[in-house]
Amino acid sequence: MSPAHTPVKIVLVYQSLLGIYGDQGNATVAVQRLRMRGIEAELVVVEPGDPVPADAQLYLLGGGEDMAQISALKAIRTDGGLAKGLQAGGVLLAVCAGYQVCGNSFTVGDRDEVTEGLGLLDVTTRRGPVRAVGEVLHRWTRPDGSESIITGFENHGGHTTLGSGVTALASLEVGVGNDGGGTEGAVSPDGRIIGTYPHGPVLARNPELADHLLQLAIGEQLEPLPIPELDQLRRQRIEHARSL
């Protein structure tokens, strides 16, 4: 049981625009993994026109199609709540289109028009030579130096290049990742903003990543949460991806 504190506020941002492939499930996983440990959690779902709370501990962005991605970017920028929340110490997980939106720029549409991103991560995204589609495996070195596998599936046409202001989240084993060059995802220098491509949703398929985000958000070490059925399913997914 965690020491008593106010409920952990988790904000799911614009899931109607950035919620394909079940990415809104990341919010459900985060809330449940806290509650299973006796930690209160409050899930706030905001849509365009709703104010994004600036006092949350964890923010979640998902994937979306080109026009939805542009609409979400404009609404996030106009609202300003996400930027304020991150400046106040909040943590952000951004998946696929959400990851691209957080970068310096990305391209959309048949003419590959360059769109300025939020600049939260030092990455740029341009249309790649091939679309990345399929199961993925990535090797993630956690802050304590141990290694974990990130599993999921990717479906993105953009290839992302990392700048000097970020580090890769993981190294590539199966799939395309950022651009086929051996890396996947990006992490801000303070570690509190993470961009990644896998869906699944990614936190359902990767409980260690979920707990890492939660520990960053609440500033507490979490006790292990053994779920044998989930561990078995993870092993099967990893074996399957490696057999492809």
Report, as residue numbers or ranges, the catalytic residues. Answer: 96, 199
Q: For the chain, what is the radius of gyration of the CA atoms?
A: 17
Residue 161, judged by CB atoms within 10 A of its CB (0-12, 13-18, 19+), counts as middle
Distance (Å, whole) CA 211 – CA 203: 9
Query: What sign does the dihedral 223-56-75-178 (CA atoms) show?
Result: negative
Residue 122 tokens read as 């030092």
Distance (Å, whole) CA 57 – CA 10: 6
SS3 10: strand
Percent helix, strand, coil in the chain, to 5, is: 30, 35, 40
